[in-house]
Amino acid sequence: MSPLLELQGVSVAIAHAQLLDGISLRLDRGQILGLVGESGSGKSLTAMAAMGLLPLIGGRVTTGAIRFDGQDMVQMTEAQRRALRGRRIGFITQNPMTALDPVQRIGAQIDVVSRLHLGLSSAAARARTLELMTQLRIPEAGAVAEAWPHQLSGGMKQRIVIAMALAGEPDLIIADEPTTALDVTVQAQIIQILAALVRDRGLALLLITHDMGVVAQVCDRVAVLYAGRLAEERPVDPIFAAPAHPYTRALTLCIPRDDTARGALHGIPGAVPTALNYPSGCRFHPRCPKAVSACSATQPALVAYGEDGRVACHLPGPGAP
Amino acid sequence: MTAAARPAPAVLRAFRRPVGALAGAWLLLVIAAAIFAPLLSPYEYDIQTLKEAYQPPSAAHWLGTDEFGRDLLTRLMYGARTSLSVSAIAILISVLCGMTLGAAAGYFGGRFDRLVTVVVDLTWSFPEILIALILVAIIGPGTTGVLVAISVAYLAQFTRLTRAQIMTLKGETFIEAARSLGAGSGHILFRHLLPNALAPVLVSAMLATGDAIILEATLGFFGLGAQPPTPSWGSMMSAGSALLFKSPGIILFPGLAVAITVIAINLFGDALIAALDIRSRMRPPQ
Amino acid sequence: MSQPLIRVEGLSRRFDTGGGFLKAPRSMWAVRDVSLAVGQGEVLGVVGESGCGKSTLARLVLRLIEPTSGRVLLDGTDLTTLGAADLRAARRRMAMVFQDPYSSLDPRYTVADVVTEPFVVQRRPVPPGAVAEMLEAVGLPASAAAGYPHQLSGGQRQRVGIARALALHPEFLVLDEPTASLDVSIQAQIIELLSGLRDRLGLTYLFISHDLGLVRYFCDRIVVMYLGAVVEVLPDTTTAPRHPYTRALMDSSFSPDPAQRRTLAPLAGEIPSPFALPAGCAFADRCPRADARCLAERPPLDGDPAHPTACFHPL
Amino acid sequence: MLAYAIRRSLMLVPVFLAVSVIIFLILHFIPGDPIDNLLKVGSSPTARAEIEARYGLDKPLPVQYLIWLGNVLTGDLGTAIVARRPVIDLIGQALPHSLALGGLALAFSSIVGITLGVIAALNRDRWPDRAIMGGVLVGSTMPSFWLGLMMMLAFSVWLGWFPVSGARGWSSLVLPVLTIGLGGTALVTRITRVSMIEVAQKDFVTLLHAKGLSPLRIQLRHVLRHALIPVVTILALRIGWILGGAVTVEVVFARPGLGTLLIKALAQHDYPVVQASLLMLAMAVMIGTLLGDLLQAAMDPRVRAALA
C-alpha cells in the first residue's frame, strides 16, 4: 500500500532563502508521525508545504514532490489543492485563541466545511457539526454552536478547531503544535482526543511538536528536523532507546525526567542558525559533541539506519561522545 | 547615550532609498530657496510694477507675474519662508506641548489622564480647520494668529500619539525590570519611555508639518494668514482666487508648490519610517 | 530548613476591573492568603497553570505591585511598609529574571547599558571591568557588550537579563518562568547556568513555572497553586503528592520515554473564571474526590507542617 | 445591543454640555464688539445699554450661558445680530445644503475609498497598488480649496460641464462633492488597504484557507469584514474632517451652507450665528461618533461583550 502522505526531497524557499532542504517523510493511514526540532528548524514550514499553503507566506516548493494518496500536490493546480484542503486534509493550528474568526459564530465556522466539501444543506451541515462537537465531548453543543469565539476557553476553542478539521471527513490531519498555547491539564485532554481520532477513525496524523514527552507517548514514528534538513527519521521506540543522530540524542537529554539527577540536564550549546548563516557540511556540527573534520566539510547523506529508519550523520549510532 | 546617536543615521538611510532621495532633494531645494531668496532672485517681492502685471511665464519671469507685476517665482521663494517657518514652528510647539501632556497622562494615569483623554478626543474629532478658524478669529489674522491656531489644532494629535506610545511601552517588561532594580519615575520616563516614544512622534510631526502647510495655505486663502505685502503660499492664492479666470498662474503655482512640497514631505516621511522600521508603531491611535 | 531569607505572611491581592459609566465593577482575588518561607540558599518552586496567581505572587514578593493585605519580610524587614528610599536600598538585595527575553530588554540599550542600569538606578559608580565580568559570569563573550538586544538570540538575551539581575550581587532572585519562551535545548542551558550561579554565589531562588517536571528537577521544595491559593507544599521532589490537583498536574505531563507509556486520564474541565469563584474548594468541580463538603466549605492549608495540603480528602 | 445603544446615547449628554460650555465661552474671547456694528456713530451710552439688555449681554456670564442653553434646548437659537433674523431660520436654510454636500462626500469617500483600498490590498506591491496609493498620496496633499478652484477651472471654465458656483440643481454638487470626497477617499483607501493586509496575515485566515475556501471569498467575506471595523471607527471619528472640508469648499464654490454661514458670521462677529453653526457642527460630530460606535458594536461581538 502506498503511503497516504509522502514528501520526497522537498525543498522550500521564501524569497531567496532556502529554508527547507530535501525533506523526505512518509505517513501511513492509522499512524502518527511526530515532527520535532527546535524553533527555526522548519517544522511549521513543512506543515504549510504539505497543506499547499506556502503561497500565503510567500514561499514555494523549489524541488521535490509532495504526494498525497499517490498524487503530487506540487504538480496540481491551485484549484485541485484547494479541493483537498478541508476535504481530505484537515489542519490544526498552534494557537486556538487566534484560530477562529472572531466575528463569526462557532457553528457557522464548522458548518461551512461540510457544506462546501460534502455538499450538505445548511440543516444537514449543522446536524453534522453538532454530532462532531458531541463526539469531541463539548458540553451543550447546541448552545456552543451559537456562541462567539471569545466566549469559549482555550481548550474549548481547540476542540472547535479540531471539529473544523474533521468536518470534511479527512484522511489526514496536520496539527502544528496543537497544545503549545494551552494549560498543562488541557494539553493532555487535547492530545488524548487526537490520539483517539487516529485509533478510532483510522486517520493519519502529522503531529508537529517541540515536546519530546508528547512524541514519546503518542507517536508511531518520529522525524527530527534541524536547520531545514532531516536529521533522523525512525520508529518511536528505538529512537528514544538509542538515538542515531547526536541532535536527537541531545534533544532527549534536554528534558528532565523523573529520574534525572541534579546536574544531569544538558542543554545544546549555541543556537539554531538562521537561513542566512547555515554552516557548511552538517549544519549541526558547530553544536555537536561528536563532530569531526568531515562534519564541517561534507553534508552527510540520508541513509538507511536500523529497522525501518534513516539518519543523516557521518558518525551515527549510540554512544556517549 | 546611544539614544541621541541613532536617529541621524536613519535620516541618511532614508536618503539612500530612491524615492526618499528625490523627496529629500526637493525639500532641501525648497528650504534653500527660502533661505537664499534675496540672493537667488533679481526681483523684490514687494515692489509693484503695474505695467508688467499678468505676464505669462517668460525668460525674464519664469513663472510670470501677478496682478501688481511682481515676479511670481520670487514671491514663491519668499512665500516659502513664511509658509515653511510658520508650519514648522507651529508643529514644533505643538509636539513639545503634546508630548508633555501625552507623556504625563499616559505615565501617571488616573484622573488627570481621563481628563486629558476626554478633552483630547473631543478636540480630535473636530476638524483642524474649524479649530484654527475660531482661534484666528479670537487672536486676529496674521502670522502669530496662524502660528497659535496651527499649534493648538494639532495638539490633540500629538497628545494622543504620545499617550498611546507611552501606554504601550509601559506594558513592556523592561519597564518592570527597571522598577525591580529600584528605578524611579524620572529614570523610567526619561531613560526608557520617552527615548522609545520619540521616533514615531517625530516622524509623525514631520508628516504633520505637511498638513500644517496645507492648513496655513487654507487660512491664508481666507485672508487670515500673513498680511500683504508679505507673501505666503496661502495669501498669494487668496489674491489669486478672484483672478482665477484671468490669470490662472497666480493661483496655480503656489498651489503646486504646496502640493509638491507636501508630497515630498510624505514620501520622505515614508522613507524615514521604513529606515527606522517603525511602521507598525505609526498606526493611527484608535 | 535553614533560617528563612524571605517570609511571606497572608499575602493577598485583589484586582478590580470595569466600573465605568453605568457599568458594574468586578473584582477578583489573584492571590489569596498565601504564606510561605524561602530558606537561605533554597530554591523554592511555585507551580500552577494560567490564572493561578504565580506571576502576581512573584511581583508581590518584590513589591512590584502592592498587596491588598499581608506582609513580605526580607531578612526580618517588612518590605510592604518601606518608604521609597528604603525600598530602593532593599532592591539591591533582590532581583528578578523575567519570562520574555524579547520585551525585557530596552531595544535602545546596548548590552553594556542593560547590565550597568542597576548601578545607574542605584546611583553607584560602575566598577571598572564589571561589564566584562558580568557577561563572563553568564557565559557571554565580552564582545557582546557593544551589541544591541536585537542582535542576540533568545537564550543570549535571557543571559543578559540574568547578568542584569546579578549586577548588584543580590542574595535573592525571583525567576518568573525564565525559560518558558525558550526552546527546550536553550531552557536546559539556562537552567544549568542558574544552577551553577546558585552554587557559586549562594543565591536563594523563588522559581515560578508551569512545568512541574522542570520544577521537580530544579527546586528543593514545591508550592502548588490553583486559582490564587496554595493547595499543597511538597517538602521535596520525591514525596508523593497528596492533593488531587497536584496528582492531576503530574499525570498531565508526558514522560519523554516510550517505555513509560501509559493511558492518559486527563483532568476533565478547565480552570473556572477567577471572577466567579465557588464558595468551597476552587478545584471541587474538576476533582474526582469532591463531595458535598468540598463544594460548600473551603479547605484550609494544614496537616503535616512539612507537607501541608488544602484538601478534605487527601490522597 | 439595545441596552448598549441607550447607554451610549446617554453618554452624549455630558459631552453635549461640555461642548456647549466651550462653544459659549470661546465666543466671549473673540475680540470685536458686534454692538459697535449696530450703533450709529456717536450714539449715547444709554442706547448702547439698551441694545446690550435686548441681547442679554449685560448679565453675568454663567447666567448668560444658562439662558442661552435653555433657549437652545427649546429650539430658540436667538436672533442674528447682523442679519436681524432668527438664527434658526438661517440654520434651517443652510443645513440641508451642508447635509447634502457632507452626506454625498461621505458616501463618495466610503464607497470609492473602500473599493480602491480592497483593490490595492489584493494587488499588494504590484502596479495597481502602486498606482492607487500614488494617486491617493497626490489627492491627499492638495489643499481642498485649491483643488476645487483647479477643477472649477478645468471642468467648468474650459470644458463647461458643470456650473461654476452656486447651488442650483444636482450638477452644481458634483465638483464640491469630488473636492471634499478626494481627501476622505485618500484616508479611507489607506486604512482599508493597511487593515486588509494586516487581517490577511492573521491565524484565522490561514485556517480559512486550510478549510479550502476560495481566496476571493476569504478576502471579501472574512478579511474585508474585519478590515472595515477600523475604517468605520476612523470614518465616524473623522466625520468632522468631511464637514471641515465642507466649510472651505462651500466658500470656494460660493454655495450656501453652514460653512459659508460660519465664515461670514466670524468675520462679522455675529455671536449667535457663530454659536449656532458651531453647535450644529459639534452635534454632527457627536452623532457621527455615536453611529460609529454603534456600527462597530454591531460588527464585532467582542466589542459588545466588552461593553455589556
Do residues D67 and D59 lie in contact, with contact meaning Cβ atoms separated by under 8 Å? yes
How far is B145 from chain C, CA to nearest CA, in Å? 39
Do residues C167 and C119 lie in contact, with contact meaning Cβ atoms separated by under 8 Å? yes
Q: Rounded to whole angstroms, how far apart are CA atoms D301 and D306?
A: 9
> Residue C262 pLDDT > 70, yes or no?
no
Residues in chain B predicted with pLDDT less than 50, given as ranges, are 1-7, 284-286
3-class secondary-structure state, position A172: strand
> pLDDT for A206-236, tens place per residue?
999 988 889 998 999 999 999 999 999 999 9
Q: Count CA within 13 A, CB hemisphere, residue A49.
A: 34
Q: Rounded to whole angstroms, how far apart are CA atoms B50 and B72?
A: 14
- Asked if the Cβ–Cβ distance from C191 to A265 is below 8 Å, we say yes
Q: Assign C274 a pLDDT band (cuts: 50, 70, 90).
A: confident
pLDDT for the residue numbered D19? 83
Nearest by CB to residue C121, choosing from B6, B172, B178, is: B178
Put simply, whether A269 touches C (Cβ < 8 Å) is: yes
How far is D1 from chain C, CA to nearest CA, in Å? 14
Give B124's contacts (C-beta < 8 A, 6+ positions apart): B156, B157, B160, D237
- Asked if the Cβ–Cβ distance from D146 to B244 is below 8 Å, we say no
**Which of B47, A187, A266 has the alpha carbon at shortest distance from C188?**
A266
How far is B187 from chain C, CA to nearest CA, in Å? 7
pLDDT for the residue numbered D40? 60
The rounded Cα B46 to chain-centroid distance in angstroms is 26
Lowest mean pLDDT among C4-18, C101-115, D229-243: D229-243
Residues in chain A predicted with pLDDT less than 50, given as ranges, are 320-321
Domain ranges of chain B: 3-282
Domains and CATH numbers, chain C: 4-15+28-242 (3.40.50.300)
3-class secondary-structure state, position C311: coil
Number of H helices, E strands in chain B: 13, 0
What residue type is C164 in one-letter code? R
**Which of B225, B210, B199 has the alpha carbon at shortest distance from B281?**
B199
Residues of chain C in contact with residue A255, where contact means CB-CB under 8 angstroms, are 184, 188, 213, 256
Q: Copy the grid coordinates of residue C259.
A: 517505555
Neighbours of chain B (3+ CB pairs under 8 A): C, D
- Asked if the Cβ–Cβ distance from D15 to B138 is below 8 Å, we say no
> pLDDT for D19-46, tens place per residue?
888 888 877 776 656 566 566 666 677 7
**Exposure string for D156-192, b = 16+ CB within 10 A, e = fewer:** beeeeebbbeebeeeebbbbbbbbbbbbbbbbbbbbb
Burial (CB count <10 Å: 0-12, 13-18, 19+), residue C71: middle
> pLDDT for C187-199, tens place per residue?
999 999 999 999 9
**Which of A82, A85, A88, A42 has the alpha carbon at shortest distance from A210?**
A42
Q: Which of D2, D4, D6, D7 to mutate to test the interface with C (most CBs of C within 10 A)?
A: D7
- Asked if the Cβ–Cβ distance from D305 to A56 is below 8 Å, we say no
- Asked if the Cβ–Cβ distance from A214 to C254 is below 8 Å, we say yes
Determine how β-strand C43-47 pairs with β-strand C204-209: parallel
Give A82's contacts (C-beta < 8 A, 6+ positions apart): A52, D212, D214
CATH code for the part of the protein at A5-88+170-311: 3.40.50.300
Do residues B176 and B110 lie in contact, with contact meaning Cβ atoms separated by under 8 Å? no
- Asked if the Cβ–Cβ distance from D143 to B258 is below 8 Å, we say yes
Residues of chain D in contact with residue C17, where contact means CB-CB under 8 angstroms, are none
Question: With a CB-CB cutoff of 8 Å, which residues 26-55 of chain C face chain A?
Answer: 49-50
pLDDT: which is higher, C118 or D305: C118
Q: Which of D28, D141, D296 to mutate to test the interface with B (most CBs of B within 10 A)?
A: D141
- Asked if the Cβ–Cβ distance from A188 to C192 is below 8 Å, we say no
Q: Does domain B3-282 have CATH number 3.40.30.10?
A: no
3-class secondary-structure state, position C234: strand
Question: Is residue B229 reached through a cis peptide bond, with omega within 30 degrees of 0 on the bond before it?
Answer: yes
- A20 forms beta bridges with A12
Q: Rounded to whole angstroms, how far apart are CA atoms A207 and A35?
A: 6
Put simply, whether D194 touches B (Cβ < 8 Å) is: yes
Domains and CATH numbers, chain D: 2-73 (no CATH), 91-307 (1.10.3720.10)
Put simply, whether D11 touches C (Cβ < 8 Å) is: yes
Do residues B167 and B109 lie in contact, with contact meaning Cβ atoms separated by under 8 Å? no
pLDDT tens over chain D, length 308 residues? 777 788 888 888 888 888 888 888 877 776 656 566 566 666 677 777 777 776 666 778 888 888 888 888 888 877 787 778 888 888 888 888 888 888 898 899 999 999 999 999 999 889 999 999 999 888 888 888 888 888 888 888 788 787 777 666 777 888 889 888 888 898 899 999 999 999 999 999 999 999 999 999 999 999 999 999 888 888 877 777 777 777 888 888 888 888 888 888 887 878 788 888 888 888 888 888 888 888 888 888 888 777 65
Question: With a CB-CB cutoff of 8 Å, which residues 95-134 of chain C face chain B?
Answer: 95-96, 98-100, 103-110, 113, 117-118, 120-122
How far is C261 from chain B, CA to nearest CA, in Å? 40
Minimum Cα–Cα distance from D143: chain B residue: B214
> Residue C33 pLDDT > 60, yes or no?
yes
How far is D15 from chain C, CA to nearest CA, in Å? 13
**Region C208-221 average pLDDT:** 92
How far is B4 from chain D, CA to nearest CA, in Å? 31
Residues of chain C in contact with residue D7, where contact means CB-CB under 8 angstroms, are 21-22
Nearest by CB to residue A183, choosing from C49, C195, C268, is: C49
**Which of C108, C128, C131 has the alpha carbon at shortest distance from C118?**
C131
Q: Assign C18 a pLDDT band (cuts: 50, 70, 90).
A: low
Q: Rounded to whole angstroms, how far apart are CA atoms D308 and A148?
A: 14
The length of chain A is 321
- Asked if the Cβ–Cβ distance from B127 to D251 is below 8 Å, we say no
pLDDT for the residue numbered A320? 47
Alpha-carbon dihedral sign for residues B148, B149, B150, B155: positive
- What's the start-to-end Cα distance of chain A, in Å? 40
CA gyration radius, chain D:
24
Residues of chain B in contact with residue D153, where contact means CB-CB under 8 angstroms, are 244-245, 248
> Residue C23 pLDDT > 80, yes or no?
no
Q: Rounded to whole angstroms, how far apart are CA atoms C97 and C158?
A: 8
pLDDT for the residue numbered B7? 43
What residue type is D44 in one-letter code? S
Q: What is the percent of chain C where pLDDT is above 70?
A: 96
Q: Which of D15, D16, D146 to mutate to test the interface with B (most CBs of B within 10 A)?
A: D146
**Region C127-132 average pLDDT:** 92
CA gyration radius, chain B:
22
Q: Rounded to whole angstroms, how far apart are CA atoms B150 and D153?
A: 29
User: C-alpha angle D124/D130/D131, rounded to 5°?
Assistant: 130
Determine how β-strand A32-36 pairs with β-strand C221-226: unpaired
